[in-house]
Structure 1
Amino acid sequence: MVRFFSCLSLLLCTTLALSQPAVQPKQGKSPARSASPASKAINLNAPIPTDPAVKVGKLPNGLTYYIRKNAEPKNRAELRLVIRAGSVLETDEQQGLAHFMEHMAFNGTKNFPKNELVNFLQSAGVRFGADLNAYTGFDETVYQLPVPTDSARLFERAFQILEDWAHNATIDPAEVEKERGVILEERRLGRGAGQRMRDKYFPILLNNSQYANRLPIGTEQVLTTFKPETLRQFYKDWYRPDLMAVIAVGDFNATEVEAMIREKFGRIPVVKNAKPRRDYEIPAHKDTKVVIVTDPEQPNTVVQVIYKRPEIKERTLNDLRESIKRGLFNTMLGNRIQELTQQANPPFLGGYSNYSDFLGNLDAFTSIAVAKEGNVERAIRAVLDENARVKQFGFTATELARAKQEFYTNVEQSYSERNKTRSANFVSEYVQNFTDKEPYTSIDFYFDFTKKVLPGVALDEVNTLVDQFIRNENRAVIVMAPEKDKAKLPTVEQIIGYVDSAGKDLKPYEDKTLDAPLVATPPTPSPVSNAREIKEIGVTEWTLRNGVRVVLKPTDFKNDQILFSGVSFGGTSLYELKDFQSARFSSTLAAMGGTGAYSQVQLGKFLAGKQVNVFPFVSELNEGVNGSAAPKDLETALQLLYSYFTQPRKDPDVVAGFLSNQRNALQNQINTPTPQRVFQDTISITLGANNPRRQPLKPADLDKIDLDRAISIYQERFANAGDFTFFFVGNFNEENIKPLIEKYLGGLPATPGKTEKFTDLGIRIPAGQLSKTVYRGLDPKATVQMVYSGDLTWSPETTTQLDALAEVLEIKLIEKLREEESGVYGVGSNASYSKYPVPRYTFRISFGCAPENVEKLIAKTQEIINTIKQNGAAPGDIAKFKAETWRETEVQLKDNQFWLGYLQSQYFNQDEPTEILRENEQLNKVTVDSTKAAANKYLADNVARFVLLPEKKMEIGK
Structure 2
Amino acid sequence: MVRAYLCLSLLLSATLVLAQSPVKTPQSKKTPRSAPGPAGGVSLNSPIPVDPGVKVGRLPNGLTYYIRKNAEPKNRAELRLVIRAGSVLETDNQQGLAHFMEHMAFNGTKNFPKNELVNFLQSAGVRFGADLNAYTGFDETVYQLPVPTDSARLFERAFQILEDWAHNVTIDPAEVEKERGVILEERRLGRGAGQRLRDKYFPVLLNNSRYASRLPIGTEEVLTTFKPEVLRQFYKDWYRPDLMAVVAVGDFNPTEVETMIREKFGRIPAVQSPKPRTEYDVPPHKDTKVVIVTDPEQPNTVVQVIYKRPEIKERTLNDLRESIKRGLFNTMLGNRIQELTQQANPPFLGGYSNYSDFIGNIDAFTSIAVAKEGNVERAIRAVLDENARVKQFGFTPTELARAKQEFYTNVEQSYSERDKTRSSSFVNEYVQNFTDKEPYTSIEFYFDFLKKQQAGITLQEVNALVDQFIRNENRAVIVMAPEKDKDKLPTVAQIISYVDDTGKNLTAYEDKTLDAPLVPTPPTPSPVANAREIKEIGVTEWTLRNGVRVVLKPTNFKNDQILFAGTSFGGTSLYDLKDYQSARFSSTLASLGGTGAYSQVQLGKFLSGKQASAFPYVGELSEGINGSAAPKDLETALQLVYSYFTQPRKDPEVVAGFLSNQRSALQNQISTPTPARVFQDTVSVTLGSNNPRRQPLKPADLDQIDLDRALKIYQERFANAGDFTFYFVGNFKEATLKPLIEKYLGGLPATSATEKFKDLGIRIPAGQISKTVYRGLDPKASVQLVYSGDLTWSPETTTQLDALAEVLEIKLTEKLREEESGVYGVGAGAGYSRYPVPRYTFRISFGCAPENVEKLIAKTQELINDLKQKGAVPADIAKFKAETRRETEVQLKDNQFWLGYLQTQYYNNDDPTEILRENEQLNKVTVESTKAAANQYLSSNYARFVLLPEKKQ
TM-score interval w.r.t. the shorter chain?
Answer: over 0.9
SS of corresponding position for 2:608: coil
Give 1:28's aligned residue: none
Shift of 1:469: 0.1
Look up the equivalent residue of 1:105 and give its one-letter code. A
**Preserved CA contact (<8 Å) 1:768 1:943:** yes
Shift of 1:42: 3.2
Give 1:422's aligned residue: 422
Look up the equivalent residue of 1:792 and give its one-letter code. L
Aligned counterparts of 1:372 and 1:402: Cα–Cα separation in 2 = 31
Give 1:679's aligned residue: 679
Give 2:847's aligned residue: 848
Give 2:339's aligned residue: 339
Question: Any residues of structure 2 matched to 1:510-521 within 5 Å, and which?
Answer: 510-521=510-521
**Preserved CA contact (<8 Å) 2:33 2:444:** no
Shift of 1:19: 12
**Preserved CA contact (<8 Å) 2:27 2:330:** no
Give 2:125's aligned residue: 125
Question: Any residues of structure 2 matched to 1:567-646 within 5 Å, and which?
Answer: 567-646=567-646
Question: Any residues of structure 2 matched to 1:229-248 within 5 Å, and which?
Answer: 229-248=229-248
Give 1:22's aligned residue: 32
Give 2:496's aligned residue: 496
Residues 200-257 of structure 1: per-residue CA shift (max 9 Å, x gap): 0000000000000000000000000000000000000000000000000000000000
Give 2:107's aligned residue: 107
**Preserved CA contact (<8 Å) 2:81 2:144:** yes
Give 2:481's aligned residue: 481
Give the length in aligned residue pairs. 940
1:556 aligns with 2:566: no
CA shift in 2, pair 1:220/1:10, >3 Å: same
Aligned counterparts of 1:590 and 1:424: Cα–Cα separation in 2 = 38
Question: Any residues of structure 2 matched to 1:48-447 within 5 Å, and which?
Answer: 48-447=48-447
SS of corresponding position for 2:913: helix
**Preserved CA contact (<8 Å) 1:787 1:844:** yes
Aligned counterparts of 2:799 and 2:433: Cα–Cα separation in 1 = 43
Aligned counterparts of 2:41 and 2:712: Cα–Cα separation in 1 = 59
Give 1:897's aligned residue: 896
Shift of 1:273: 1.1
**Preserved CA contact (<8 Å) 1:813 1:864:** yes
Percent of aligned positions with the same letter in both sequences? 86
Give 2:540's aligned residue: 540
Aligned counterparts of 1:841 and 1:457: Cα–Cα separation in 2 = 58
Question: Any residues of structure 2 matched to 1:925-940 within 5 Å, and which?
Answer: 925-940=924-939
Shift of 1:39: 11
**Preserved CA contact (<8 Å) 2:247 2:430:** yes
CA shift in 2, pair 1:192/1:837, >3 Å: same
Aligned counterparts of 1:852 and 1:731: Cα–Cα separation in 2 = 56
Shift of 1:953: 5.5
Shift of 1:5: 1.9
**Preserved CA contact (<8 Å) 2:51 2:442:** yes
Aligned counterparts of 2:30 and 2:714: Cα–Cα separation in 1 = 38
Give 1:32's aligned residue: none
Give 1:697's aligned residue: 697
1:758 aligns with 2:757: yes
Aligned counterparts of 2:428 and 2:382: Cα–Cα separation in 1 = 36
Give the structure-1-normalised TM-score: 0.97
**Preserved CA contact (<8 Å) 1:566 1:625:** yes
Look up the equivalent residue of 1:294 and give its one-letter code. T
**Preserved CA contact (<8 Å) 2:783 2:945:** yes
Question: Any residues of structure 2 matched to 1:460-471 within 5 Å, and which?
Answer: 460-471=460-471
Shift of 1:613: 1.2
Question: Any residues of structure 2 matched to 1:912-923 within 5 Å, and which?
Answer: 912-923=911-922
SS of corresponding position for 1:339: helix
CA shift in 2, pair 1:743/1:18, >3 Å: farther
SS of corresponding position for 2:950: coil
Give 2:810's aligned residue: 811
Shift of 1:17: 6.2
Look up the equivalent residue of 2:450 and give its one-letter code. T
**Preserved CA contact (<8 Å) 1:134 1:143:** yes
Aligned counterparts of 1:480 and 1:377: Cα–Cα separation in 2 = 13
Residues 939-958 of structure 1: per-residue CA shift (max 9 Å, x gap): 0121100000000358xxxx
Aligned counterparts of 1:167 and 1:594: Cα–Cα separation in 2 = 59
Aligned counterparts of 1:795 and 1:634: Cα–Cα separation in 2 = 36
Look up the equivalent residue of 2:390 and give its one-letter code. V
Give 2:20's aligned residue: none
Give 1:736's aligned residue: 736
Aligned counterparts of 1:244 and 1:372: Cα–Cα separation in 2 = 47
**Preserved CA contact (<8 Å) 2:533 2:540:** yes
CA shift in 2, pair 1:40/1:288, >3 Å: farther
**Preserved CA contact (<8 Å) 2:33 2:445:** no
Aligned counterparts of 1:660 and 1:198: Cα–Cα separation in 2 = 30
Aligned counterparts of 2:346 and 2:789: Cα–Cα separation in 1 = 45
Aligned counterparts of 1:22 and 1:168: Cα–Cα separation in 2 = 35
Shift of 1:10: 5.2
Look up the equivalent residue of 1:804 and give its one-letter code. A
Aligned counterparts of 1:929 and 1:236: Cα–Cα separation in 2 = 49
Aligned counterparts of 1:857 and 1:144: Cα–Cα separation in 2 = 30
CA shift in 2, pair 1:45/1:455, >3 Å: same
Residues 125-147 of structure 1: per-residue CA shift (max 9 Å, x gap): 00000000000000000000000
**Preserved CA contact (<8 Å) 1:570 1:717:** yes
Shift of 1:389: 0.1
Give 2:830's aligned residue: 831
Residues 288-324 of structure 1: per-residue CA shift (max 9 Å, x gap): 0000000000000000000000001000000000000
Aligned counterparts of 1:858 and 1:190: Cα–Cα separation in 2 = 22
Give 1:787's aligned residue: 786
**Preserved CA contact (<8 Å) 1:563 1:728:** yes
SS of corresponding position for 1:499: helix
Look up the equivalent residue of 1:604 and give its one-letter code. G
Give 2:651's aligned residue: 651
**Preserved CA contact (<8 Å) 1:22 1:443:** yes
**Preserved CA contact (<8 Å) 1:595 1:647:** yes
Backbone CA RMSD of aligned residues: 1.3
SS of corresponding position for 2:61: coil
SS of corresponding position for 1:352: strand
Shift of 1:43: 1.0
SS of corresponding position for 2:142: strand
Shift of 1:4: 1.3
Give 1:33's aligned residue: none
CA shift in 2, pair 1:642/1:832, >3 Å: same
Look up the equivalent residue of 1:663 and give its one-letter code. R
**Preserved CA contact (<8 Å) 2:552 2:728:** yes
Give 2:17's aligned residue: none
Give 1:35's aligned residue: none
Give 2:873's aligned residue: 874
1:768 aligns with 2:767: yes
CA shift in 2, pair 1:944/1:589, >3 Å: same
Instruction: Provide structure 1 residue ranges, at least 5 long, that are not aligned to the other structure.
Output: 25-37
Residues 364-395 of structure 1: per-residue CA shift (max 9 Å, x gap): 00000000000000001000000000000000
Aligned counterparts of 1:169 and 1:655: Cα–Cα separation in 2 = 58
SS of corresponding position for 2:341: helix
SS of corresponding position for 1:473: coil
Shift of 1:9: 2.7
Aligned counterparts of 2:42 and 2:894: Cα–Cα separation in 1 = 39
SS of corresponding position for 2:533: strand
Shift of 1:41: 2.2
Shift of 1:168: 0.1
Look up the equivalent residue of 2:333 and give its one-letter code. L
**Preserved CA contact (<8 Å) 2:772 2:947:** yes
CA shift in 2, pair 1:39/1:641, >3 Å: farther
SS of corresponding position for 2:199: helix
CA shift in 2, pair 1:881/1:799, >3 Å: same
Aligned counterparts of 2:358 and 2:183: Cα–Cα separation in 1 = 27
Shift of 1:14: 9.1
Look up the equivalent residue of 1:836 and give its one-letter code. Y
Aligned counterparts of 2:820 and 2:448: Cα–Cα separation in 1 = 57
CA shift in 2, pair 1:17/1:920, >3 Å: farther
**Preserved CA contact (<8 Å) 2:82 2:244:** yes
